[in-house]
Amino acid sequence: MEKPVIIGAGMVPVGEHWRVSLRDMATEALLNAMDDAGIDKVDSLYVGNMASGSFIEQENLGALIADWAGLGHIPAVKIEAACGSGGAAVQEGAKAVMVGLEDVVAVVGVEKMTDAWPTDATRYLGYAADAEYELFHGASFVALNALIMRLYMKTYGYTEEDLAYFSVNAHRNGAKNPYAMFKREVSVETVLKSPYVADPIKLFDAAPMCDGAAAVIITSKEKARELGVPKDKMVELAGFWRAMDTINLANREDFLTLTAARVAAEKAYEMAGVTAKDVDFFEVHDAFTVMAALSLEAIGVAKKGEGAKLAKEGQIAIDADYPIQTMGGLKSRGHPVGATGVYQTVEAVLQLRGEAPDGIQVPDAEIGLTQNIGGTGSNITVNILRRV
């Protein structure tokens, strides 16, 4: 079965878009992607979104965005997989093309979070956990991740300073990304002096609440050639998979292993015919610094317990062995939850085309990996992209 290709990519800057609606952000990103692909129509639309019904009291996003963008009477649907909704939507669009149901598919990831009060937004994000057995007892989403971070440090002997290097790296790269929410570098001292939000997680260990939208256009190689898309504008979705784990942390066999990420990565590597050693850069889900460490371990980049060591030793920088968060990741670019997986995909496309901003282009990049987490690791996608 022929692998699909991405022929168009678009996004809007991540931030607090007080005067822009969800439908306008999504439509702008979508039209940017269609313009990049050189097309004026698509066969279907998949929308990655986590919680529009809670954040802005609007569901049925497929119809909303297809209508607003003037796409006509095409099928359109929202894909929800918590914070992993964007990565899941990309996979669903790819599947539709691979089985031949649709020729040209649009995937949009969008979330508008800042219209809600922060306390309400915290509750909505918590819906990605187990409402009956975790939220009911007062465990917020950041608190659950704080438990993981505390155990990680205790088990492997790391300090808060060791994990701070993930944030420093993300901001160093994000400072050069015009679409990032926080375009400034930070020091280890800045991270350590930031206030605690849930001990040991500090403000600069966590990704911000924000708004954003990103989009990609997916088709087959045959259709891409028919549309006249140059080969150097095509990026192949070489391998992808999605896997689950228990939604409740207490039911996990190992709190410090992202089993769903490991399974998804293994399947994606197999589908792409590559290993972690073949990948030139990694866009992992650093909603919290500890999740970046656990992600590197789960996808086979670091041995168990050594993810934070890579950051501390500088091995995750653009010019190092394992570049991650090449355009700022969730921490610096921002984490508009349902859109994040599509932002990762757009950024990977730009890297593989050689179109990343100056200073953060990975040299001679041919293969990239994106990893998008839903919940505390209960629903994880891994996508491997390759230059055609």
Here the CATH number for the domain that contains residue 301 is 3.40.47.10
pTM above 0.75, yes or no: yes
Q: Within this chain, do residues 285 and 371 fall inside the same structural domain, yes or no?
A: yes
Q: Is residue 279 included in any domain, yes or no?
A: yes
Which parts of the chain sit beneath pLDDT 70? none
133-187 tens-digit pLDDT = 998 998 999 999 999 999 999 999 999 999 999 999 999 999 999 999 999 999 9
d(CA 336, CA 211): 5
Instruction: Give residue 182's region: left, alpha or beta (phi > 0; psi -120 to 50).
Output: beta
Burial of 147 (0-12, 13-18, 19+ CB in 10 A): middle
Asked whether residue 84 falls in the same domain as residue 149, the answer is no
**Residue of 344, 342, 368 whose CA lies nearest to 282:** 368
In the three-class reduction of DSSP (H, G, I as helix; E, B as strand; rest coil), residue 178 is classed as coil
Question: What domain range is 15 assigned to?
Answer: 5-117+209-235
Q: Rounded to an integer, what distance in angstroms lies between the CA atom of residue 94 and that of residue 272?
A: 14
Do 341 and 277 sit in the same domain of this protein?
yes
Q: Assess whether 17 carries a catalytic annotation.
A: no
225 and 96 inside one domain: yes
- Are 100 and 224 part of one and the same domain? yes
- Sequence length of the chain is 388
- Tell me which residue of 270, 262, 268, 249 sits closest to 294, measured CA to CA: 262
Q: Is-contact 265 371, C-beta < 8 A?
A: yes
Tally the domains of the chain.
2
Residues 6+ apart with CB under 8 A from 256: 148, 151, 152, 155, 294, 304, 305
Catalytic option among 83, 171, 210, 285: 83
Structure-token match 């937004």, residue found: 121
Residue 161 sits in the same domain as residue 74: no
The single-letter DSSP state of residue 258 is: -
Let me know whether 229 and 259 are in one domain.
no
Give the C-alpha separation, 303 to 17, whole Å. 40
210 is catalytic: no
Judgement on whether residues 214 and 189 belong to the same structural domain of the protein: no
Check 17, 171, 285, 335 and give the catalytic one. Answer: 335
Q: Are residues 190 and 228 in the same domain?
A: no
Instruction: State whether 50 and 68 are in the same domain.
Output: yes
Tens-place pLDDT, residues 334-388: 999 999 999 999 999 999 999 999 999 999 999 999 999 999 999 999 999 999 9
Same domain, 173 and 229: no
- Rounded to 10 degrees, the C-alpha dihedral 227/363/205/146 comes to 80
Residue-by-residue DSSP string for 127-147: TTS-TTTTGGGT--HHHHHHH
Asked which of 218, 235, 252 is the last residue of a domain, the reply is 235
Check whether residue 181 and residue 53 sit in a common domain.
Answer: no
